[in-house]
């Protein structure tokens, strides 16, 4: 199995050249002074940790998996030691405000660390990853007492956190959850119910686990308007912040899964467990969205990680594996056959992975800048504009990058041929590990409905226009650059078509709202391809500028331009099929009676 090598140069390209992180931070007083030296130092240290601590236990963690014994979960060999070092290095507190015991660094910088950790070992990375959302939820909605009791230990990493939403009968339909919360005389609540699919819900890495739980109060309204949010610790916490008696929270079982074997996916049982209301009564879902947006960006990073990891493994193998001769004549005359990287079909898979990995990185880091603004900008209008952009781009990033990550992982197996099906090579693990990313934190189909229904049509296209204006201005600004014509013409046309397609769907939906569901997934794919096209055009423009100057990295920048050309000519035409499917509408989906599906 190839060991992970952090793509530091490309991360620096995106951060410093494409998105100018240093200037971005200086424009936000809370992050001013986060200079390039500090940024690069953190990225390089995280790269070292990921390469040398996490990557070596990735496959062994997959093979060993988590062990369950009467409610006790043991993580794979090496996981606990790696977590201890992660805490010692201070990563849990990286992007937490100083007033809450953190280092006060930007969340976007934390997302870069998450990419490195996740690509090296996604199963391990989920343990601290879930804590980030718990920290943000307590930080944003907890009382001063709750912050004092729970937040400090979450920030240091001494304790970890989870989000407990899903129940076996409910899935993503949180309006029908049944977990209940009964008030006690001392202001606490007895939480009773069962949650499923709780990642990192039980483990041996930390002294306590703080569960963030959705439940219903007595007499609460039905549906999502009657859900409240609670802090329920695995161990009760004494007044001085020390760990007390065991709460009546238990792990009923862990799931036997397709992938992410090194992470415990748990059934968590609450039996009148002591919990504490966080935020207002019946507003739990509003508070939880603090957690959900963090989690969805984190899941988008998993898609990026899958594309990067699959590309690295595929490229190494394609350079080394000999098979057949090039149709145009032998390329490796000193060998009995040519390396498979010379064959167009293999190059197509490699360039697809590369374009999704590097384009996905640009999208995640671009999205993360808006999250920074929402988090700390002092101007309310600036925060609102960034929040609108974040709302539009988050479902695109989550769904599109996880689906393209899954595609890249499939190509990884294919490049290896029969060896790709063998565990020792590591490609099939990426397929298994990343498939869940298309499902959790809202399936691709749910993200698509959120994008088209809530973010686009429900705002009469306002959120979409905010972004298409940015693309339009980019095309206008570069209109006189002949070298950019091959990118600008298709981008401008698709940008206009994005609005036209939206209008056509909206008109149909006025007659039958089911048209939204029929179009949503293809609309999301179309949106994803165009969004990445905009970022690839920006990267191509920047690379051309560098090549026109006196650069010592010609090969790097030439590769950027060539990958952009590949994306535009070989990937972007996929939009045509998605538009055709959208325009073909609802009819053929709904004409068959339910009984006719099986006969």
Domain boundaries, the chain: 288-452, 461-590
* 301 pLDDT more than 70: yes
pLDDT band at 174; cut points 50, 70, 90: confident
* 455 pLDDT more than 90: yes
Kind of pairing between the strands at 67-69 and 72-74: antiparallel
Task: Kindly report, residue by residue over 117-144, the tens digit of the pLDDT.
Answer: 999 999 999 999 989 889 989 999 999 9
Over residues 443-456, the mean pLDDT reads 97
Q: Cα angle at 434 between 431 and 439, to 5 degrees?
A: 125
d(CA 140, CA 279) in angstroms, rounded, equals 9
pLDDT band at 261; cut points 50, 70, 90: very high
Task: Kindly report, residue by residue over 536-584, the tens digit of the pLDDT.
Answer: 999 999 999 999 999 999 999 999 999 999 999 999 999 999 999 999 9
The rounded percent of the chain whose pLDDT value lies above 90 is 94
Over residues 462-482, the mean pLDDT reads 97
Q: Which of 45, 49, 41, 24 is nearest to 108 (CA)?
A: 24
* 2 pLDDT more than 80: no
pLDDT for the residue numbered 94: 97
Task: Kindly report, residue by residue over 207-247, the tens digit of the pLDDT.
Answer: 999 999 999 999 999 998 999 999 999 999 999 999 999 99
pLDDT band at 173; cut points 50, 70, 90: confident
Over residues 405-428, the mean pLDDT reads 98
Beta bridge partners of 267: 253
d(CA 82, CA 62) in angstroms, rounded, equals 15
* 255 pLDDT more than 80: yes
Helix, strand or coil for residue 189? strand
DSSP secondary structure code for residue 162 in this structure = E
pLDDT for the residue numbered 538: 98
Determine which one of 182, 441, 545, 558 is catalytic: 441
pLDDT for the residue numbered 522: 98
DSSP secondary structure code for residue 258 in this structure = S
* 1 pLDDT more than 80: no
* 290 pLDDT more than 70: no
Beta bridge partners of 199: 265
Over residues 174-186, the mean pLDDT reads 94
* Residue pair 366/20 in contact by the 8 Å Cβ criterion: no
Q: How far is CA 252 from CA 15, 92, 130, 164, 508, in A?
A: 44, 28, 20, 14, 47
| Dihedral sign (CA 312, 314, 315, 320) | positive
Over residues 479-504, the mean pLDDT reads 97
Catalytic-residue membership of 441: yes
Over residues 412-430, the mean pLDDT reads 97
* 291 pLDDT more than 70: no
The CATH classification number of 288-452 equals: 1.20.140.10
Q: How far is CA 76 from CA 60, 190, 260, 281, in A?
A: 8, 33, 12, 40
The rounded percent of the chain whose pLDDT value lies above 70 is 99
Half-sphere exposure of 217 (CA within 13 A, CB side): 21
Torsion of CA 286, 288, 294, 295, to 10 degrees: -130
DSSP secondary structure code for residue 421 in this structure = G
pLDDT for the residue numbered 297: 92
């Amino acid at each position: 199995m190839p060991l992970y090598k952090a793509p530091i140069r490309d991360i620096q390209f995106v951060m410093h050249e494409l998105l100018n992180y240093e200037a971005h931070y200086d424009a936000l007083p809370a992050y001013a002074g986060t200079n390039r030296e500090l940024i690069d130092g953190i990225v390089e240290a995280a790269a070292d940790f990921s390469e040398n601590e996490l990557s070596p236990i990735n496959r062994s963690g997959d093979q060993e998996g988590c062990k369950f014994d009467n409610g006790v979960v043991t993580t794979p060999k090496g996981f606990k030691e790696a977590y201890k070092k992660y805490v010692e290095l201070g990563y849990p507190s990286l992007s937490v405000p100083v007033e809450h015991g953190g280092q006060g660094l930007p969340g976007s910088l934390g997302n870069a660390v998450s990419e490195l950790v996740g690509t090296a070992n996604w199963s391990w990375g989920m343990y601290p990853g879930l804590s980030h959302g718990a920290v943000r939820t307590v930080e944003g909605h907890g009382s001063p007492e709750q912050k004092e009791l729970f937040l400090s230990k979450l920030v240091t990493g001494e304790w970890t956190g989870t989000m407990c939403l899903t129940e076996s009968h409910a899935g993503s339909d949180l309006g029908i959850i049944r977990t209940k919360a009964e008030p006690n005389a001392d202001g606490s609540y007895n939480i009773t119910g069962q949650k499923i699919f709780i990642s990192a819900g039980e483990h041996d890495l930390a002294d306590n686990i703080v569960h963030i739980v959705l439940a219903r109060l007595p007499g609460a309204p039905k549906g999502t308007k009657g859900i409240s949010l609670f802090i329920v610790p695995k161990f009760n916490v004494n007044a001085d912040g020390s760990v007390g008696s065991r709460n009546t929270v238990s792990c009923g079982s862990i799931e036997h899964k397709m992938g992410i074997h090194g992470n415990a996916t748990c059934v968590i049982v609450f039996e009148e467990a002591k919990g504490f209301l966080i935020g207002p009564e019946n507003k739990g879902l509003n508070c939880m969205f603090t957690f959900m947006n963090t989690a969805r960006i984190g899941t988008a990073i998993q898609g990026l990680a899958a594309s990067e990891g699959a590309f690295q493994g595929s490229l190494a193998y394609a350079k080394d594996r000999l098979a057949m001769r090039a149709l145009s004549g032998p390329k490796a005359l000193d060998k009995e056959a040519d390396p498979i990287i010379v064959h167009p079909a293999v190059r197509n898979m490699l360039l697809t992975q590369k374009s999704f990995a590097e384009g996905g990185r640009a999208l995640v880091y671009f999205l993360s800048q808006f999250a920074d603004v929402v988090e700390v900008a002092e101007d309310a209008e600036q925060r609102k504009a960034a929040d609108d952009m974040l709302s539009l781009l988050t479902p695109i990033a989550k769904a599109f990058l996880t689906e393209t990550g899954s595609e890249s992982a499939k190509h990884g197996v294919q490049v290896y041929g029969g060896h790709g099906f063998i565990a020792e090579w590591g490609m099939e693990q990426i397929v298994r590990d990343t498939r869940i990313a298309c499902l959790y934190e809202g399936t691709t189909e749910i993200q698509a409905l959120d994008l088209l229904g809530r973010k686009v049509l429900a705002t009469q296209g306002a959120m979409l226009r905010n972004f298409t204006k940015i693309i339009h201005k980019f095309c206008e600004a570069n209109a006189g650059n002949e070298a950019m014509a091959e990118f600008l013409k298709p981008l401008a046309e698709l940008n206009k078509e994005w609005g036209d397609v939206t209008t056509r769907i909206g008109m149909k939906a006025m007659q039958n709202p089911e048209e939204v569901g029929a179009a949503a997934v293809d609309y999301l794919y179309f949106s994803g391809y165009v969004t990445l096209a905009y970022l690839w055009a920006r990267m191509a423009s920047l690379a051309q500028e560098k090549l026109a100057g006196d650069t010592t990295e010609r090969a790097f920048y030439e590769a950027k331009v060539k990958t952009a050309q590949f994306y535009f000519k070989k990937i972007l035409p996929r939009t045509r099929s998605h538009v055709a499917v959208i325009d073909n509408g609802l009819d053929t989906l709904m004409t068959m009676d339910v009984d006719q599906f099986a006969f």
